[in-house]
Amino acid sequence: MSGHMSEHMSVRRYSIRRRLITRTMVCMLLILGGISLAAHWFAGHESEEFFSARLASSARVLETLAAHQLETATIGAPIVIPIPQGLGYSGGATPYGHPYEHKIAFQVFNAEGRLLARSASAPEAPLGPLAAGYTSKLLGETLWQVFALQSGHVWVVVAEKDEVREEMVEQLGTSVLAPVIIGGILLVLAVNLVLATNLAPLRTLADAIARREPESLAPVELPDLPRELAPVVDELNSLLQRVSAAFEREQQFIDAAAHEIRTPIAAVQLHVQNALRAANPAECEASLGEAVGALERTTQLAEQLLTFSRLASGTDMQLQRQVSLADVCSDVMALQEPLLDRRGQSLGLSAPHDCSVQGDPYRLQQLLRNLIENASRHGLARGDIDVAIDCADGLCRLRVSNDGEPVPADETENVFRPYYRLRPGGKSGAGLGLSIVRQIADQHGAAVTIGRKADGQGCVVTVAFPR
């Protein structure tokens, strides 16, 4: 009991809805992370291209408009181009210009490196080396992106703060990612709502099972059944059907066992009482003999009931292997012949060719033993019982025949039903012999039929095994 409880406690439960939402969010985070990295890289690359081109363009404009005039001008101090007073350091565009002008600067040097002119946002120190092309220079705590070109004996240097590009990259990334993130959040909420709606049948199924009475084995029915949940409900109903059939077989077994065993036990009790009241030893011996016979029938009945119960439940099956039907017949007939001799019946075997089948030797012996006992019980008191084996058409046939009364054509299927007696009230056993034969044959993939001898008399039971 503790083992079952520990196994039950070790089962890990989880929420399908929570797991789907979590995994969806993880996938979205990975995708959004990839998108953000890609957007940042593309934005940085494109801003570099754009701002570098703008620096070069600005330098060429300065070269065209001012460089040559400054080269020949006589000035004692550098010319400073002021920034309008109304232009702040933050905010958007104004009638005076744009605040980004504080982050853009230019300088003009002569061939000796003397500063001729600069913007108010440019420092006195050179923004970069007087070498044509693009460079980066850190002045104080500010990183400048610089472009320089030489026009005659004049150097034009144009620069902008690197933070301009960083701001542009951030703004571009935000403009790209913001709609994606908001859409992702809305998508998660929508997925949660959709899952909650579509997983509702699972809760309905759980509630339907929880409300059932413990003894109820009726099929589970839902008003609306999703196609994906249908196999689960179908298998559950199939399981309930099998459990119901197992309960019915168990109850049938108990009822039949109680009914069948009560009669022989009562007979044993009666014979023992007669022996106790016997007037002489001969009567006592006769009563005890009857009691022993009743005990033998009770033992046989108990064995048949147990065999039928095990076969019906599918338990107690041995490993199957290649089995010789001739060997099975020899083993069973060696045990059955003494019993049949006492009844005045003869037992013969006809096996011109041995046949091997795939099966359980013990179950095949049970099958043949039941066939022989059934043939003996329903055969003539001093009749013949014949066992034959032949192989043809890919089948191995085992036949057991007697010379008793034939089975009517309309009863050939009924005699295989459990507890069915062809002649109620007669000494025809418990009605389990042929039922056991049919179940063992089914487990071996064999077919069982009942017919008559060639002369139209007697009864022949044929078991056809696949080779």
Structure confidence at residue 230 (pLDDT): 78
What is the pLDDT averaged over residues 317-322?
70
Residues of the chain with CATH 3.30.565.10: 318-466
Assess whether pLDDT exceeds 70 at residue 123: yes
Structure confidence at residue 391 (pLDDT): 85
| 3 state SS for 305-364 | HHHHHHHHHCCCCCCCEEEEHHHHHHHHHHHHHHHHHHCCCEEEEECCCCCEEEECHHHH
Assess whether pLDDT exceeds 50 at residue 356: yes
* pLDDT per residue as tens digits for the range 275-302: 888 778 887 888 788 777 767 767 766 6
Look up tokens 């998660």; give the residue.
Answer: 188
Assess whether pLDDT exceeds 80 at residue 360: yes
Q: How many CB atoms lie within 10 A of CB 131?
A: 12
Residues of the chain with CATH 1.10.287.130: 230-308
- The pLDDT mean for the chain works out to 76
- DSSP run (H or E) holding 17: helix 16-62
CB 417 within 8 A of CB 439: no
- Six-digit token string for 337: 């012949």
Q: How many CB atoms lie within 10 A of CB 456?
A: 7
CATH number attached to the domain at 318-466: 3.30.565.10
Q: How far apart are CA 289 and CA 168, in angstroms?
A: 113
Q: How far apart are CA 243 and CA 214, in angstroms?
A: 13
What is the pLDDT averaged over residues 421-429?
57
The string of DSSP codes covering 193-246 is HHHHHHTHHHHHHHHHHHTS-TT--PPP--SS--TTTHHHHHHHHHHHHHHHHH
Q: How far apart are CA 229 and CA 320, in angstroms?
A: 38
Q: State the pairing for strand pair 384-392/356-359.
A: unpaired
CATH number attached to the domain at 230-308: 1.10.287.130
* pLDDT per residue as tens digits for the range 47-92: 667 667 777 767 777 666 666 666 656 566 677 766 665 545 555 5
Look up tokens 């709606």; give the residue.
Answer: 197
From residue 134, give the alpha-carbon distance in Å to each of 88, 109, 158, 200. Answer: 29, 17, 10, 64
Structure confidence at residue 2 (pLDDT): 45
Which of 85, 137, 140 has its CA nearest to residue 107?
137
Question: Residue 458 region, left (φ>0) first, then alpha (ψ -120 to 50), else beta?
Answer: left
Band (5; pLDDT cuts 50, 70, 90): very low
Band (107; pLDDT cuts 50, 70, 90): confident
What is the pLDDT averaged over residues 337-361?
83
